[in-house]
Amino acid sequence: MGRNLKISVLAVLLAATAVAATAAAAAEMRTWNLNSSATMEAEIVGFPSPETVEVNRSDGKVSTLPTA
């Protein structure tokens, strides 16, 4: 690999790391009201399907919940 290519690859990797760190910092714990009238502290970590949301609960467990 040439030096310019190595520098370009390094720059792309650093930029991707910065974007990932910014996205992780943007996630925040929120209080969610469930249909059962219970509440849960959690942050959204993903959308595995259009019908579900994946959350990281304050107790460290990951749950998949319906979006409706």
For residue 17, what is the domain's CATH number?
2.30.30
Mean predicted confidence (pLDDT) in 45-52: 90
User: If you average pLDDT over each of 9-18, 19-28, 41-50, which comes out highest?
Assistant: 41-50
pTM for the full predicted model: 0.54
Domain residue limits at 44: 3-66
Picking from 63, 13, 2, 20, the residue whose alpha carbon sits closest to that of residue 38 is 63
Residue 58 sits at the vertex; the CA angle it makes with 44 and 66, to the nearest 5 degrees, is 40
Measured in whole angstroms, the distance separating CA 64 from the mean position of its chain's CA atoms is 13
Residues 20-42: pLDDT tens digits? Answer: 555 555 568 989 888 888 889 99
How many domains would you assign to the chain? Answer: 1
Residues 60, 44: contact at Cβ < 8 Å? no
Report how far Cα 44 is from the mean position of its chain's Cα atoms.
6
